Structure 1
Amino acid sequence: MNLDGWFTSRLDRTKAAGLYRTLPRTMSSEAEADDQKQVIWSSNDYLGMANDKRLIAAAKTALCQSGAGSTGSRLTTGNTDWHGKLERKIADFKRTEAALLFSSGYLANIGVLSSLPEKGDVILSDQLNHASIIDGCRLSKADTVVYHHIDMRDLEEKLAAAQGCERRFIATDGVFSMDGAIAPLDEIIALAERYQAFVIVDDAHATGVLGEAGRGTSEYFGVCPDVVIGTLSKAVGAEGGFVAGSKALIDFLLNHARTFIFQTAIPPASCAAAYTAFEIIEDSQDKRRLLHSSVRTVKAGLEDMGFTVKGGRTPIVPVMIGDAQQAVLLAKSLEEKGIYAPAIRPPTVADGESRIRLTVTADRSLREIDDLLKGFHLIGRELNMVK
């Protein structure tokens, strides 16, 4: 069998399991499928920033001034005033001493976890952490111990068992991307202090969303993790990632994180857009209030119908289906009614936990929310998922 034949054979198994994927044709808030308008209910643009005219104007200005690309890594030709300006804004926003930009949140996680822990150390990683944390742990010279999802008793037992290690790092998502659950950061940090561990938090899905000023899980719980990782591509509406923390941490990463050293810098236009977004997030709470009100309406409506819904006080609303093929069928039926909400299946989630992962955004109207709930109710009854 040649190489293409081997690929085809493996893809046939993927299709038979109901796990085959194709790329959709989407925009950030609307999509066109078979000439039918689709309202997007799966975007991570939680505050509707990606199409905000103020961000677009800022990006255009920087684009004309600095060009389309950054031309190199930050340590060679890719460092501009916009990069430093945005890093200072992020540090101020996150209430840390300093910050460092990466080309994505994925690269930020890998850069931190592959460079900070050393041989003889241990990383305690939540069972449902994002793939970027898992991959960072795999690249680390430290051992990795997985603790049960947000199970503080299990985490404490494993911290106690790891006292012989040189250093202990706890790595967790702030908000878990598939479940919408919020990590109990106050409890995690209390355990870290008791067992002399360091806390690394990926705040990708919390930045701009949680806390009075949208500063994320740290503000939400009133605590200060050792390392805060985030992205500019979700509620901030731009592109790129960052790490925020002490000046010593940022200096260390600048010199040791391979995903920073060897990666082309994000374009200045992306920096300008993100800078503007942070200013908007800081100056106004209206978008967050509207967002959380819409989340409550959607969750209550689905639960009243009889659907099993997970998630905490976040815009991620997982509607649990279980069977992968049933989840795909529900997603297809919703799409036919102009509701774009793809099925999430293994390996992204565990077997038997396929779901429709809804995300609520601040730019969804009351009419669109009503259409969503009516669509779920009608199709759920047709497919015998609810009564």
Structure 2
Amino acid sequence: MSVPSTYLAEPTASDEGLFSAFRPVFEKIAQGNLERERDRLFPHEQVRWLAEVDFGTVRIPAIHGGFGASLEQTFALLAELAEADPNVAHIWRNHLAFVEDRLNAPQSSSNDTWIKRFLAGEFVGGGWTEANNLTLANLTTTITAHNDHWLVSGAKYYATGSLYADWLDVLGRAEGGELVTALVRRDDPGVTLVDDWDGFGQRTTASGTARYEQARAERGDVFPATDRFDYQAHFYQTAMHAVLTGITKAALRDGSTALTGRARNYPQGLTSVPAIDPQLLQVIGEVSADVFAAEAALGRSTATLDRVVAGRLAGDEAGARRRLIDAEVAVDQAQLVIIAAALSASTKIFDALGASGVSERRGLDRHWKNARTLASHNPRVYKARIVGDWLINRIDPVADLASLGRGGQGN
């Protein structure tokens, strides 16, 4: 039995239709990526191009005016966008997650308004994590009822995408202590965005500080955080996996181009022409296997998320917990595979190149820097233990997600 009370529906989009719609824009975004990265030029124009072709509505069912893509298709698109520019792809993470949350929400007049906002191209940035190692247990941001609206006060870090946004998704505590999320207009006079992100990767994602001083949120734009969709943590993490997969593909692309352009080889080489040296070709083949592993892991793990949604559409509550556990295990396993592939490819590719490969003009180091930075958000060191503990001891791997732990937007 279907669940008509939400905006979810069976996917209807074709791969061909989706990629033909967005690939020309991805190719356009790829132009100038190196210069933006090198000079720290923020991609406002590129984000707008995607909004103009309704990239933000890719998951909205066709019956509600969107493209009707599956999660597997959505993250495959995000990976291809990341191959063109990983910073632009990462900027869309919070928006796509909030769209997913509203699709899972009960149909209502306020949620109808949000669907219309998405269809109109309005963009959502994030603001959940607080600085100074604060956790959800001692969150200091407050969201207080005031007359016919709410007031948001506090400060967030890792506010990815905020400089590009129309709306900011802010996590805080209401007066009763419950966790709520408030959507605040980016141009509200109480909002201050500071570009103070100093990481060596993600240099143009605007992942800096957002400050809120009595910023206004309307009644229909504040939601209990415990009502957020139950695969939220998996969605946020998989978005990172998609970006890392794109980086892996970009490392292969740029490394192959650099090898093809090499004019001379080292004396120890097996041929005088680098592009036909068997050992250098072996390096390219190994990096292509990293790409294969990343894409396969991304596809397998996102398919488990689609099964979570399919179960909800079918009204199968009895199997919901098992599907969520299957998704958690798959996403954790994918994280281990994809991070290893991205770091391997972005390092190994230099073995096929000469000293010219480290030229700042080529900017090949950006692939490793971006991969290493993304891989640090939710450290993989914990994931193998969690999976092993489930497989051997049946310790529930999603128990901590029920309280909105760091799995959602970890730092």
| TM-score scaled by length of structure 1 | 0.23
| TM-score scaled by length of structure 2 | 0.23
Identify, as 1 or 2, the structure richer in strand: 1
Structure scoring higher RCO (CA < 8 A, sep ≥ 6) equals 1
